[in-house]
Amino acid sequence: VADISPLPVPEPTFTVAEQGCLAYYKLPGAPLLDMSRHQRSAHGTSIGATLGELLTALHAVPVERLADLVDVDHQPLAEWRQEATENYVTVAGQVPAAHRRPVEAFLDAAPPHDGCTPTFSHNDLGIEHVLIDPVAWTVTGIIDWSDAAVVDPAYDFGLIYRDLGPAAARAAISSCRTDADDLAALSERAVFYARCSVFEDLAHGIETDQGRYVDKSLAAMEWLFPP
């Protein structure tokens, strides 16, 4: 990945395969998740643009080059909606009442058209895996590549939309090198993934008593499911 990514990533210094051990030097920076909502909002567009360049580089890699290294993780959008419905049931009591009707309307609606060409991607590009310099507000690294796979290219853009909002997502998607029709379809699927995945993140925060995940998920309801 280090040969592909325009941003720093963990690079193994040694491995002990029989013990499942992989060691690497810690990258500098703090997780974007640890920054305040106000700070993330203020710098979201520039960070989104940087992440868009990362995804553009990853998505350009021929999938055949990585066939022996990563799996294909591409399920139908109808399955995403079903999983989102199941996750919503577990967290509905935590969702502010003003957002519940828009949530339920989304879950009752048909998903977007399912056609896309899967590409290599990080596949978990939430803000907990984005390291930043809290003074300069530049991205210093991308961590946790354990879920990297051949996926819908819209998925990681969706996580940018979920965690940083629409302006950041627009900045990220604007780096894509494709035609307008493809960009429109990708954007539609990105919003869909953002809406589906927020319930899983909220449930994770509640179940593990991690308030940062709860707080960012509830904050995202404002742009994912506006009243």
Sorting pLDDT into bands at 50, 70 and 90, what band is 180? low
Q: At residue 212, does pLDDT exceed 90?
A: yes
Q: So what's the pLDDT on residue 175?
A: 86
- Mean pLDDT is lowest, of 21-35, 46-60, 125-139, 174-188, for 174-188
Structural domains of the chain, with CATH? 28-224 (3.90.1200.10)
Question: What mean pLDDT comes out for the span 196-224?
Answer: 98
Least Cα distance to 113 among 141, 85, 87, 152 occurs for 152
Q: Return mean pLDDT, the chain.
A: 96
Least Cα distance to 58 among 121, 138, 134 occurs for 121
- Rg, Å, the chain Cα set: 17
Sorting pLDDT into bands at 50, 70 and 90, what band is 22? confident
Least Cα distance to 142 among 154, 131, 134 occurs for 131
Beta strands in the chain (DSSP E): 12-16, 21-24, 30-31, 71-72, 119-121, 130-132, 139-142, 149-151
Q: So what's the pLDDT on residue 63?
A: 94
Sorting pLDDT into bands at 50, 70 and 90, what band is 67? confident
List, for residues 95-151, the tens digit of each pLDDT value.
999 999 999 999 999 999 988 999 999 999 999 999 999 999 999 999 999 999 999
Q: So what's the pLDDT on residue 104?
A: 98
Q: At residue 211, does pLDDT exceed 80?
A: yes
Percent of the chain with pLDDT over 90: 89
Residue ranges of alpha helices (H) inside the chain are 37-59, 77-91, 97-108, 154-164, 166-173, 180-207, 211-224
Name the DSSP class of 95: S
